Amino acid sequence: MDSKRILVIGKSKSGKVTFVKALTGTLPSGLNLTSNETSHAGLSHEYTLKNKYFQKEVGLWIDEYTNLEETLEAYASEDAKEVINAIGAIIYTFRSYEPQEWSLWNTFSENLKNPIPIVGLHMDTSSMVVPPDSPYLEYVAFFQTGKNEFGEKLGLERVLEIFDCCEWDFDSNENVSEDFVLPGKDSSMSLDDSELNALVNQVKQLRGSDLDIQERKKQAISFINSLVDERFQESDLN
C-alpha cells in the first residue's frame, strides 16, 4: 500500500474501535472479541478513501497508551521519524476532556517538522466539556450530526472532510482527477503542480492561524474567487 496512514490513538476504551467500525463498516483485523486482553495497540485496518476526485486505499494504525506524555515523546524521537513520515492524519479519541492531554497534543503538533492534521474526537455524550480552540487540533464531537450554525458539517462527516484535505502521497498508478470542479459551477479548471502546491500552502496557513472562524471563512472565499475568476458566494458551499 503506497500511501500514508491514519493513526487512531487513545486510552483503553476511549472509542478507537467504535470510530474505526463507523468509518470502515468493519472491525479491525486481528481483533479478538473473546479475549480478556483489552489493549488494541498494534491493530491495523484498511479504509477506502473516496470522493469525486479520487479513490485510494488508506491504512489505519491503532495505538493505545497509558501515559500520553511518554507515548508522544516516543513518536517525536528520531527513531520514530519514518513512522511519523508515514502518517497522513491522527485521530485522538477521548471520552472526557483532559487539559493536560490537550496541551501535550498541542506541543507535539507544534514541534512537528511537517504538520499532520490532528482531530480530537470526543466519543462520549455524557461528558461534553468542549476543549479550548487550538491552531493544532480540531475538536469534533463524534455523535453529532448535521451542520452547525455556520453550515459546517459535524461528527463523522466532518472527519471525512478533513481526510479529503490530507496529503496521501498519490502514485502514478492511481486514478486522480486532473479537473477540479467547484460545486454549482459549470466550468472546470486545471491546476498545475505549482498552483496546486501554492493553494495547499495557503489553506494550511489559514487552518493554523489564530483568526476567528468568520475571518477564516472570508479568506477561504477569497482563495476560491482567485481561482474561478468570478464572484463566489458563501452559499455555494452549502
Q: What is the pLDDT of residues 87-110, one digit of tens each?
A: 999 999 999 999 999 999 999 999
CA neighbours within 13 Å on the CB side: how many for 39? 6
Q: What is the percentage of the chain residues whose pLDDT exceeds 90?
A: 50
Q: For residue 145, what pLDDT band results from cuts at 50, 70 and 90?
A: very high
Structural domain includes residue 195: yes
- Pick the last residue of a domain from 164, 191, 218: 164
What's the domain range around 193? 179-237
Q: For residue 125, what pLDDT band results from cuts at 50, 70 and 90?
A: confident
Instruction: Return left, alpha or beta for 108; rule: phi > 0 is left, psi -120 to 50 is alpha, else beta.
Output: alpha
**CB count in 10 Å sphere of residue 48:** 10
In this structure, are residues 104 and 69 in contact, taking their beta carbons and an 8 Å threshold?
Answer: yes
Q: Residues 189, 214: one domain?
A: yes
> Any idea what DSSP says for residue 229?
S
Q: Residues 146, 36: one domain?
A: yes
